[in-house]
A = this chain, B = another copy of it.
Amino acid sequence: MTAPRVDGIDAVLSPHSIAIVGASVDPARIGGRPIRYYKQTGFAGALYPINPNRSEIQGLKAYASLADVPDGLDCVVVAVPPELALPTIEQAAAKGARGAVVFTANYAEAGPEGVLRQQELVAAARAKGMRLLGPNCLGVYNASSGHAATFGSFLEGERAPDAPIGIIGQSGAYASYIYVLLKKRGLGAARWLATGNEADITVADAIGHMAGDDGVKVIAAYVEGVKDGPAFLGALGMARAAGKPVVLIKVGRSESGAAAAMSHTASLAGDDQVFDAVVRQMGGYRARTTEELIDVVEALARRGPLAGNRLGVLTISGGAGVLMADDAENAGLVLPVMPAATQARLKAENPLGSFVNPVDFTAQAMNDLGLVGRALRAILEDGDVDAVAGFFMTWIASPVMGEKLQGVIAEAMQGYEDRTIALAVSAPDEVLSAYRAKGIILNEDPSRVVATLGALAAIGKALKAGGRSAIDLTGTPRLTGAETTEAAAKAFLVKAGLEALPEQVARTPEDVTATALAFGGPVALKIASADIAHKSDAGGVALNVAPDDAGARARVMIQAVSAAHPQARIDGVLVGPMAGEGVELIVAARTDPVFGPVVMVGLGGLFVEVMQDVVFRAAPIGEAEALAMIDSLKGRALLDGLRGRPKVDVAAAAAALAALSRVAAANAGRFDTIEINPLLVRAKGAVMLDALVTPGSG
């Protein structure tokens, strides 16, 4: 699998006729709940409860078996004991159903035998082109049609107004909770789907499907582990192409994290960091907490992403303004200064206020709410902002001011419907609802107000960045398996466009001297052996060696390495000129077990080891993206020349990183790691001082 499979998911998500096998007369039981929910949602399609012992179930005509239901069955809901599930799928397939929702548990989650039963189940479905949700899943819900093939309790209680949100969860319990929390904000998600064991339909498939579903504008997904990385990234790409933000929450580490610990590069960061990087690269937004997910999904559903990152802050209290300005910096938002003339105008009528941005209209506004309206209007008209964050405390619920304030705000916003207003307030639900109905974002916490706007800006930027541009891999060299030595690895990478120093392998100490003399200055000596990965540790590196001295040093080195590694085959000594000054990076590619070829960059030496200051992307990337990776290093300033050091050629480093990413993409499966450590970035150019290719284990 390498792409999301979206074909046929309609039969599961939007069927017109449904049979429920294992239907129960008890509306509280697993087989009874969906029927109760279908009646509650007013599903207009055909619903066939199947139960051999009943002629009627919850007021509906019941059928003894699937064979008895009318033709044209779209979807079957499987709520039977494990031993009956496979025959049910086979009968449904025979009846022509194209979709199955399997509640039944005791499959892959129950151990090796369950895995086998699950494989049989999905094979039976696939044999007839049927898509299968589950097994061991909580089902599916489509608010548009009232299709409610679920026993999740999230459908209990009153219905919230439909909102264009699609919820997808590997965990049905957590996905239910997301639904409930959004409903509490007055948003009834349009689609809901729990993938359970993912025998067939995965989170990626569902994201891909919703990318093309007009009823969904925002996708919220809960992910426990991704098995097929490329399909997952493909699904994010489809959503981005459709202009639909995907907000994810992912727990734990990917299941293959342990497998990746073999190489040095891999051990620098857990797979979770790779997940983080590639999701961002594909325009997805990863929420850290449940409330962040809810805040951001709500704001996207009500308002959509922001056009830019310019924020106006409007408060009752100067202190809260500083707090929100602090938060804005963390959230990547900027506060444009209000034009002087506007400031002067506002100051004239409200002398104790402050109008630079943050704008503090002070408690003076208690006596004249017009001060609030005019300040907000001024920010919208003259403030050059994409959004306004306000600190309004309990004012919106005040018996004295509340209603009037609502009018004042609505009036100030007229003509600026494209700007997003978010307020920190505490008020009873009915007051909150009135503001939300006007598209205003509300939160008790001023910091969360600002963080949510920051997320909307980041998502807007990610969606605008568009898809990854196609990167031409023509001419990128292919690994042959012969790149087992430093010299061979470098030679291969030079063909791919990276730079190396002019170096030669000398076989004997005498050759070393001759080669060093030919270079004409101090040289670097390195043991040439495919069997020594960490040359320094083995005594296999000597720097700044005078040419006259080179032969003797080489002899000692060969002896030392042989003594330490008696099994190592030594080809001789690599002789090259000294590299000169510069900043060392580590630039590497590896085959991530989930996401395939990824590239990494970090500052060399101790920075990468001690500070774990590394950045990942899925390969390939262009030079602009490579530059963005380098720019996002915490130690980025080192490349600009600190304390009298020279500024180095960052563009050359980005070019090398991009070239390596093409090598990685063109050689997927042929390598475990390709590590250039260090890449010396000089005032002009960036040269590999060491390179190591570990062949693919697959």
Interfacial residues, chain A to chain B (CB-CB below 8 A) = 28, 105-106, 109-110, 153-154, 156, 169-174, 176-177, 180-181, 184, 222, 224, 249, 251-252, 288-291, 316-320, 322-323, 325-327, 352, 363, 393-394, 398-400, 424, 426, 444-448, 536-537, 606-607, 609-611, 613, 634-635, 637-638, 642-644
C-alpha spacing A566/B169, complex, angstroms: 72
Contacts of A154 in B (CB 8 A): 394
Contact yes or no, B318 A171, CB < 8 A: yes
Q: Which of A171, A224, A638 is the most central at the interface, judged by chain B CB atoms within 10 Å of its CB?
A: A171
Contact of A173 among B327, B363, B644 (CB under 8 A): B363
Contact yes or no, A445 B289, CB < 8 A: yes
Contact of A638 among B174, B322, B610, B643 (CB under 8 A): B610
Contact of A610 among B290, B291, B609, B637 (CB under 8 A): B637
Query: What is the distance, in angstroms, from A303's C-beta to the closest C-beta of chain B?
Result: 22
Q: A105-B352, A252-B325, A291-B444 are in contact. List 19 more A-B contacts (CB 8 A).
A: A171-B317, A171-B319, A172-B317, A173-B319, A176-B394, A177-B393, A181-B426, A222-B319, A224-B319, A224-B322, A252-B322, A252-B326, A288-B447, A289-B448, A607-B610, A609-B643, A610-B638, A611-B634, A611-B635
C-alpha spacing A177/B220, complex, angstroms: 32
Contact yes or no, B444 A181, CB < 8 A: yes
C-alpha spacing A172/B319, complex, angstroms: 9
Given A180-B393, A326-B251, A398-B153, does the pair A445, B317 have CB atoms closer than 8 Å? Answer: no
Contacts of A171 in B (CB 8 A): 317-320
C-alpha spacing A537/B291, complex, angstroms: 51
Query: What is the distance, in angstroms, from A611's C-beta to the closest C-beta of chain B?
Result: 6
User: Chain B residue with minimal CB distance to A446?
Assistant: B290
Query: What is the distance, in angstroms, from A188's C-beta to the closest C-beta of chain B?
Result: 15
User: Chain B residue with minimal CB distance to A447?
Assistant: B289
Query: What is the distance, in angstroms, from A447's C-beta to the closest C-beta of chain B?
Result: 4
Contact yes or no, A644 B537, CB < 8 A: yes
Contact yes or no, A445 B290, CB < 8 A: yes
C-alpha spacing A494/B320, complex, angstroms: 48
**15 A/B residue pairs, CB under 8 Å, sorted by A:** A28-B400, A106-B352, A110-B352, A153-B398, A173-B319, A174-B323, A249-B323, A251-B320, A251-B326, A288-B447, A290-B424, A290-B446, A609-B643, A610-B635, A611-B611
Contacts of A291 in B (CB 8 A): 444-445, 447-448
Contact yes or no, A634 B609, CB < 8 A: no
Contacts of A184 in B (CB 8 A): 426
Contact of A180 among B105, B320, B322, B394 (CB under 8 A): B394
User: Chain B residue with minimal CB distance to A177?
Assistant: B393
Query: What is the distance, in angstroms, from A205's C-beta to the closest C-beta of chain B?
Result: 19
C-alpha spacing A322/B250, complex, angstroms: 10
Contacts of A643 in B (CB 8 A): 537, 609
Contacts of A28 in B (CB 8 A): 400
C-alpha spacing A644/B447, complex, angstroms: 46
Contacts of A424 in B (CB 8 A): 290
Contact of A394 among B109, B153, B326 (CB under 8 A): B153
C-alpha spacing A325/B224, complex, angstroms: 13
Contacts of A398 in B (CB 8 A): 153, 156
Query: What is the distance, in angstroms, from A395's C-beta to the closest C-beta of chain B?
Result: 8
Contacts of A319 in B (CB 8 A): 169-171, 173-174, 222, 224, 251
Contacts of A634 in B (CB 8 A): 610-611
C-alpha spacing A609/B610, complex, angstroms: 15
Contact yes or no, B180 A426, CB < 8 A: yes
C-alpha spacing A610/B291, complex, angstroms: 34
Query: What is the distance, in angstroms, from A577's C-beta to the closest C-beta of chain B?
Result: 23
User: Chain B residue with minimal CB distance to A321?
Assistant: B251
Contact yes or no, A176 B447, CB < 8 A: no
C-alpha spacing A537/B645, complex, angstroms: 10
User: Chain B residue with minimal CB distance to A136?
Assistant: B352
C-alpha spacing A424/B290, complex, angstroms: 10
C-alpha spacing A170/B323, complex, angstroms: 13
Contact yes or no, A642 B606, CB < 8 A: yes
Given A537-B643, A610-B637, does the pair A394, B177 have CB atoms closer than 8 Å? Answer: yes
C-alpha spacing A502/B326, complex, angstroms: 49
C-alpha spacing A550/B424, complex, angstroms: 69
Contacts of A352 in B (CB 8 A): 105-106, 109-110
Contacts of A251 in B (CB 8 A): 319-320, 322-323, 326
Contacts of A448 in B (CB 8 A): 289, 291
Contacts of A222 in B (CB 8 A): 319
Query: What is the distance, in angstroms, from A608's C-beta to the closest C-beta of chain B?
Result: 11
User: Chain B residue with minimal CB distance to A613?
Assistant: B611
Question: Nearest 8 pairs between A and B by C-beta?
Answer: A173-B317, A171-B319, A289-B447, A251-B322, A291-B445, A252-B322, A251-B323, A610-B635
Given A180-B394, A288-B447, does the pair A317, B153 have CB atoms closer than 8 Å? Answer: no
Contacts of A322 in B (CB 8 A): 224, 251-252
C-alpha spacing A399/B153, complex, angstroms: 11
Contacts of A174 in B (CB 8 A): 317, 319-320, 323
Q: Which of A105, A173, A447 is the most central at the interface, judged by chain B CB atoms within 10 Å of its CB?
A: A173
Contacts of A363 in B (CB 8 A): 173
Contact yes or no, B105 A393, CB < 8 A: no
Query: What is the distance, in angstroms, from A492's C-beta to the closest C-beta of chain B?
Result: 27
Query: What is the distance, in angstroms, from A154's C-beta to the closest C-beta of chain B?
Result: 8
C-alpha spacing A319/B198, complex, angstroms: 15
C-alpha spacing A184/B394, complex, angstroms: 12
Q: Which of A184, A319, A613, A635 is the most central at the interface, judged by chain B CB atoms within 10 Å of its CB?
A: A319
C-alpha spacing A399/B173, complex, angstroms: 18
C-alpha spacing A642/B177, complex, angstroms: 46
User: Chain B residue with minimal CB distance to A609?
Assistant: B642
Contacts of A252 in B (CB 8 A): 322-323, 325-326
User: Chain B residue with minimal CB distance to A290?
Assistant: B445
User: Chain B residue with minimal CB distance to A426?
Assistant: B180
C-alpha spacing A288/B426, complex, angstroms: 19
